[in-house]
Structure 1
Amino acid sequence: MTVAVLTSGVALGVHVPGLLLARRLAEVGVRARVDVVERHLPERERGLIPAAKAAFHRDFRVALAGQRLAARNSVGLVEDSVAELMARWAADDVDLLVVLSGFWLPTAHRYAAAHAGVRVHACHVDSVASPSFTSSGGGGGHPGAHEDIWLLQERDGGVARTIPVSREAALSWGERTGRLLAHGGGWGMGTYRAHAAELARAGFAVDVVAYERGDVPDERGRDRYFMIDPDWQPWHDPGFPPFGQIADDGRVEFTRGVDHHDGFHLTRAAVAVVSKPGGGTLMDSLSSATPVVLLEPFGAHEARNARLWVRLGFGIAHDDWVRAGRSLDVLESLHRNILAARPRALSYADQLAH
């Protein structure tokens, strides 16, 4: 079996899980390649992405309004580029297409129709179909066209399957740093910066993932700031995002591993992640047994993710945690819930291999 993992570089909540899936498949002897949809957009369309990312980061209301424009990437791929890609798939004997971004569905279905025996998995990192799937007409219920794989499907008081971020055991509560990790996903979206400042004033030590250098205040106190290399473009670079801590003089020494994204080290050691409930964030939470203090969601699909995490006892809404006195005991209880459920989540990569 050869697997093509199809992602979107502007949605790190699906691109990083795609990189992780390819890595986990390689560990169990399955050949896999990762293809990024933006590589096949017209250059003019690709050139608009940096400005959109900056606008969405700076104003969450703009980001929420911009979801209505998500369908623009579902059409208009460069035909010569797509045809060349499908020829490479055929040469590599690709017989399974794992679609993590719905913008790929028309191309995946086209390739499957032309090659007998090819399967298409629409792999959803969210608990319901995200805008890339709904805008592509692939929100589920396509008998014969593809099989829907739900990573956040609820089962036996936990999650049915996942893509393991790491094979390492989760750290015990006593091994944690006592720090909180605040971030806004790959685009740095949401209200996390204001909440990080509020938590620092309340006496917590916070690790903050900045999106741009202007996010870093002059006085940091006990807070630490990190960032993804702003020049990194996943449609040109096949590795995990370069990541590093911002030094007092503003310099960043970016590093990255080959097993998983470097930011996971912070998640694994934290007592909680303070973030909007993106699918990739919840995958990190499950793999690390680190609870999530849930901030305002990015759209209806993330709102459903938040309700699932609360129902399972893996996370708590920010306002509810504040009403509970920002209790560490509450976070420890959530950590123990995840720790108990974690072994029951099957590895999607292992399922594919066997």
Structure 2
Amino acid sequence: MDRERPVIAVLTSGVALGVHVPGLLLARRLDESGVPVRVDVLERCLPADKRERIPASKRSFHRDFRVALAGQRLSRGNTTALEDDEVERLLREWEADRVDLLVLLSGFWLPAAHRYAARHPGVRIHACHVDSVLSPSFTSAAAGVPAARRAAGTFRDIWLLEEHAGGVARTIPVSPAPPVAWSRRAPRYLVHGGGWGMGTYAGRSQEMSRHGLALDIVVYEPADVTGTDPDGGAGRPIDGHRYFMLDPDWHPWHDTGFPPFGRIRRDGTADFRRGRHHHDAFHLTREATAVVSKPGGGTLMDSLAAATPVVLLEPFGEHEAVNARLWERLGFGISYDAWADSGWSRALLEPLHHNLLRARGRAASYSDLLIEETTR
């Protein structure tokens, strides 16, 4: 890291890959342009007992969407108290790196960010929202913003899904590769439930399978896959579909690389790989006819980057419900029920692809805006 230049700190949270992966993408785009940047993951500052309970919570949320929704409601009153010694250690690291801009993708970082900015009044804070309205971490008890900081112009909200000119105002670039042409896309559908495998995607994938649709299904744990055979061939589809998963032994606070991701073989094993420039799952989004998923902000960012329509499943909370309404209003997505009522029409999805293609070229790059600011 070039210690002669101020550093941008990108602050993510590992409990939501829809927050963490956009942060990694932003850091990677900055690093590729020579801008000094570091990534800090919230959970590294949590008490060890709280951090150790996260995997069990994720399994519970995955297995019962009602539990996930209840947990989200409880998080609004959560202050997510960080270990004071860990926060102080981190602040000293920021001072040593001369961090002058904190980009927060989780509102739970705000107390630590304000503490650092109080010591260094010139420090700027960007609250980078991957959803179209405030997500629970930014409406929690921990997420207040001093009025003086807003008035001084050192705090700024960055809305990636802000509606603008028939599309969204800005995004974080995922890949320089252009979208795959509609005529070259195989009639396959990518089905997932976000990083925690939450929601109704499993039941919907069974329904789609019964109607003969070819699916790429991202599962959360090996038990989610049916039709595996310890003696089966590694390259053949399982039940006519392809299954993928994240490495269940990896957690975002282990490192700041993209999530290990791989295809599940017929014997139930997987070969996990890690993309250097973006998350590996994006390759599936680029090639799919549509993504069938709950409307998380990270999923919608991938949808725009790949010009791949989203078939919208039940949202995880009100912020995702607003995301879904935005994607439908812009002509980028369609509700699952409406698509099913059409007879699973592929033709119905093609105009959505072209709408996304046009909007993709109009969205400003948030990373480019930061690069311009640092090189003036």
Calculate the TM-score normalised by the size of structure 2: 0.92
- Select 1:341's aligned residue among 344, 352, 359: 359
Deviation at 1:205, TM superposition (A): 0.4
How many Å apart are 1:30 and its aligned residue? 1.1
Q: CA deviation at 1:28?
A: 2.0
| CA distance in structure 2 between the aligned counterparts of 1:140 and 1:337, rounded to whole angstroms | 37
Q: Secondary structure at the match of 2:28?
A: helix
| CA distance in structure 2 between the partners assigned to 1:59 and 1:140 by the alignment | 34
Q: 1:324 to 1:139 in 2, by over 3 A?
A: farther
Residue 202 in structure 1 maps to residue 211 in structure 2: yes
Aligned residue number for residue 148 of structure 1: 157
Task: Report SS of the residue matched to 1:74.
Answer: coil
Deviations 1:172-206 (A, max 9, x none): 10121220000000000000011111111111100
The 4+ residue runs of structure 1 with deviation greater than 4 A are 139-142
* Mapped partners of 1:177, 1:347: distance in 2: 29
Q: How does 1:142-221 map to 2 (within 5 A)?
A: 142=147, 143-144=150-151, 146-218=155-227, 220-221=238-239
Separation in 2 of the partners of 1:68 and 1:236?
A: 27
CA distance in 2, matches of 1:167, 1:315: 23
Supply the distance in 2 between the matched residues of 1:309 and 1:96 (Cα, whole angstroms): 31
- SS of 2:30's partner is helix
Give 2:173's aligned amino acid. Answer: P
Mapped pair 1:33 → 2:51: no
Q: Using the TM superposition, give the Cα deviation of residue 221 of structure 1 relative to its aligned residue in structure 2, in angstroms.
A: 2.2
**Pick aligned residue for 1:315 from 333, 343, 360:** 333
Q: Distance in 1 between matches of 2:76 and 2:52?
A: 17
State the match for 1:290 in structure 2: 308
Match for 2:97: what amino acid? D
1:113 matched to which residue of 2?
A: 118
How much identity, in percent, do the aligned residues show? 64
Q: CA deviation at 1:140?
A: 7.8
1:15 match: 20
Q: Is the 8 A contact 1:105 1:136 kept in 2?
A: no
Contact 1:74 1:104 in 2 (8 A): no
The alignment yields a C-alpha RMSD, in angstroms, of: 1.4
| 1:73–1:19 Cα change, 3 Å | farther
TM-superposed CA distance for 1:138, in Å, is 3.5
The one-letter code matched in structure 1 to 2:349 is L
- Counterpart AA for 2:93: R
Separation in 1, partners of 2:220, 2:307: 25
Task: Provide, for residues 255-312 of structure 1, a one-character-per-residue CA deviation record: whole Å limited to 9, x for no partner.
Answer: 0111000000000000000000000000000000000000000000000000000000
The gaps in structure 1 that reach 5 residues or longer are none
Matching residue of 2:132: 127
**Aligned residue pair count:** 354
Residue pair 1:176, 1:269 contacting (<8 A) in 2 also:
yes
Give SS of 2:186's match.
coil
Unaligned runs of 5+ residues in structure 2 are: 1-5, 229-237
Give, in whole Å, the separation in 2 of the partners of 1:97 and 1:175. Answer: 41
Counterpart CA distance in 2 for 1:217 and 1:139 is: 46
Deviations 1:218-254 (A, max 9, x none): 2732211000000001112210000000000011010
2: distance between equivalents of 1:131 and 1:233? 21
Separation in structure 1 between the aligned mates of residue 155 and residue 370 of structure 2, nearest angstrom: 15
Change (3 A) 1:87 1:352: same
* Amino acid paired to 1:285: S
